[in-house]
Every structure is written in C-alpha cells, then in structure tokens.
Structure 1
Amino acid sequence: MTEPALIELDEVSKYYGNIRALEGVSLEVHAGEITCVLGDNGAGKSTLIKIIAGLHQHDAGSFSIEGEPARLAKPRDALDRGIATVYQDLAVVPLMPVWRNFFLGSEPTKGVGPFKRLDVQLMRETTRTELLRMGIDLRDVDQPIGTLSGGERQCVAIARAVHFGAKVLVLDEPTAALGVKQSGVVLKYVAAARDAGLGVVLITHNPHHAFLVGDRFVLLKRGRMSGSHTKGSVTLDELTRQMAGGSELDDLRHELERASGPGGDDPA
C-alpha cells in the first residue's frame, strides 16, 4: 500500500471578488521528492503558497494533508501540521546573531521562576550542529545574520525548518535574487532537505534550477495549470518552452520576422 501524499491539492480554486487568482490547480507533494511550481509574475504562485501556508483558504476543490481533508485557518495550523514556509524576503532580524535567528520565537530556557533565562549555550551548540548536519559550515554562529550572503541566509532558514520537524518545506523563489554560484549552493541544500525525507515545494520562475532538482513540475499561467509533468516525462527544452509561452513565443517570432522582413519597417 502506497503512502498518501504529504500534501495534495485537487482542482483547487481561489477567487478575490471577481478576480480569479487560481482555478483548477492540482499538485502532489511526496516525502523525499521536490515538486517545482513554475510560472511568471501573476501566474498564481503566491496565492498557491498562501493556501498551503494557511494564510488563505481555498474556495473550491480539495486540499489534503497526509490523506486527510484539511482547511487551514492560520499559519500556525500549517506549522502544527508540519508545513514550514520560507518566504523570499526571509523572516530574519539582520542585527541578531545567527543562533538567535535560528531559534526566533522558539527559544529554549533554563532555570525556574525569577531565575528563568534563555539557554544561550544550547542554542549556539544546536545551531552549529544542525547547520553542519546539513553541510553548512559557518565561521561563527555569533555573527549577525545580516552579514551572511543571501544564499547562506536561505540555507540557515532551510536548516531551521528541518530542525523544527517540518515534513513539508515550501520555498518561495529561493534563488531569485542570487547569482549562479549562490543559487547552486541553495539548490544543494534544497536537495539535502529532500534527502532528509522532507517533501519540498520549490516555487520558481527558473526552469533550469527546477530541472536540476525537481521530481515533479507544475506550470502555472494566469492562475491556471498550463502543464504537469514528472522528471522522466519532460525535457529541459520542453519545460523551458512551456514556461516561456510555447506557441505564443512562436507567434511572436513570426510577427517579428514579418516586421523586419521584405516590405517591413526595418530601419536602414
């Protein structure tokens, strides 16, 4: 008997008044797999994240967590069900040390009554150990997290989610503002989270990054699904073509060729 998907959306729709943000979107997230959601700005990726993260509720279709119907009322509900979301802007306090950001909102204490205080030593050691376990070797966990590169901050956020027991990790455009080398570092830790047994949802507009690590691919366009593939059923070229608009690109190329061809307005 196969294990139910950690998360399954079936024909999910979301409306804001007369505006259709999502319509008929389906996807599955399995343990030890990465499901990539691809789309340009306005494709519906942010709305999809908000439904999975408990910020918004879907208006139609079904949303299941480990085979049980779910309707998350708030982000805390998602966290309690093992769904951790790392947003593009990252919820970190730049001037606080790495270890403090790692435990932000979940700080362990020691002592009782008036002698109760933060267990700083435990937090430092745990942060260093958990980062190393994910293959992240920081020079100093006491340094302000704002001094880390964008890729390093993303990796700390991923390690934090793994440490606090996430079953599903949702990553919102983790490589969007990064260069090639930094993006490669982040993708390595995304793969490490998958190898640790998590189900990962990778939101991206970069088909090359998605194809490097993805097991499943869902393409969104103007709130609707424009494609759904597994790793072995699609090539990078086809994924890129669908992501870029496919037939629309072909039409545009013909238009441009006509405009600059014989009889066109090609400037001298």
Structure 2
Amino acid sequence: MKLTYLLPLLAAQAMAQAQVQDVQSVLQATDKFRMTAENLQVDTQINVLNADGTPDKERRYTVFAQAKRQSLVVMQSPAEKGQKVLMLSDDFWLLMPGSQRPLRITPMQKLLGDASTGDIATMSWADDYAGKLVGEEPCEVAAKQTCLHLSLNATRKGVTYQRIELWVGKTRFEPVRADLYVLSDKLAKQATFVMDKPAAPTMVLEMVLADQVSNHKTTHVRYLSRKVRQVPPEWLNPMFLVRNPALD
C-alpha cells in the first residue's frame, strides 16, 4: 500500500522538477534577445513621456553589461556627465564626480522616469529568477500570437523586482510583455518589448515601462547599438572608478 501512495508522489515531484528545468531553459533563450553576448557595450537612450503623451525628459547612457552579473553604467547626458553606476552581483554603487567615496544604492533607485538602476544595468532573468509555466495565453500586443505565461520569483536579494509575470513567444521565446512586482507584491510597472523583426525576432530594440503606482508616465528604454566588449577588470572596481578616470 505504501508503494501505491509513493509512486504518484514521486511522479509529481519528477514532473515539477522537469517543469523547473524547462522554465530555466526558456529564460535562457529569452535572455539572448536582450543580452546578445556575454560581454556587451550597449548604447542606451531613455525618453520619458508624461501621462498625456507629451515629452518630459531624455537621457543617454553607455552600459557595459558583463558576465557574472557585473555592469557599469556611464551617464552621457550633460546634466549627468561624469556619473556612473556600478553593479557587482547584489551590490550597487553610485559614483559622483568630485566625491571621494562610492555611494551604496539599491537596484530600485531611479535613474530617469520609471527606469531604475536595475532596469538599465541588468539584462537577464535566468540567473536571478526561478518559476513555473502557468500555461499558454494569447498575447495582448498581437492577438494572433500565442504566448507562454511564466510566473517568476526572485532567487537573489539584489534584484529590482521580487516577482515577474512574463509572457514570451511560444516558438522563439522572445519577451513580449511583463508585469513587474516589488517586494510588497504591489504591481509597480508593466513592460512591453519591441523587437527588431516582429515575424522573426532576433533582439529587443526597446523596452517600454508604464508606471502603475503614481505618475502614470511612460518610459522608453531604447537600445541604440550593441557591440561585444569586455572591459578591463579595474573598470569594475568602485575604488578605481571613484577617481573619475577617463573610460575609453
């Protein structure tokens, strides 16, 4: 009798483990549409629109997204020139020109509009989240397309969002849209992703963030260019960056 009860339990556990592995494989494929190589230089432009659609602000950033969850964000607009954000795993620092010390910040700290440091510095999900497949659902942005709905929970403390409801293409697993929840499980933002070739996508060109909490502004994060680049190790050292060196 014990074996009769044990077999269904073991089968359920095996199915659950297989689903977890499948979700991680999907996330790894999804990540490649944003992080097209292990080490990248990504020129990024952020445009913020007010709730009525009128322009608010615009900023430019150079993001050096590196392997092992390391990123350096260099601010390029005149209003922020010389400022940098460094991400090393769960640790974030803001480096200000003229300051003698790097300042600890959180991944939720705003850069511009509703784009946080984590939104700009992090371009992958597979290393930070685990979850389950909810099922197949129509994609809102393309009624004829069927998406896989993934429910993701953070596995690290230094992530921007504690939970993500993510919809990806059923065939290629490209990101389509996401509901982004903070630690209190409040829906903070809704993201949609603009692909280079809707019929046969290869990379994300733009992420659009719609505020769901307060100002209801829309923030467009445009990836203007990507190129493979591994930065020197000292660029990922906050004590080196605090000297405000020229980064060429």
TM-score (norm 2): 0.31
Q: RCO (CA 8 Å, sep 6+): is it higher in 1 or 2?
A: 1
Question: Which protein shows a greater Rg?
Answer: 1
- Relative to total residues, which structure has the larger strand share, 1 or 2? 2
What TM-score do you get using the length of structure 1 for normalisation?
Answer: 0.30
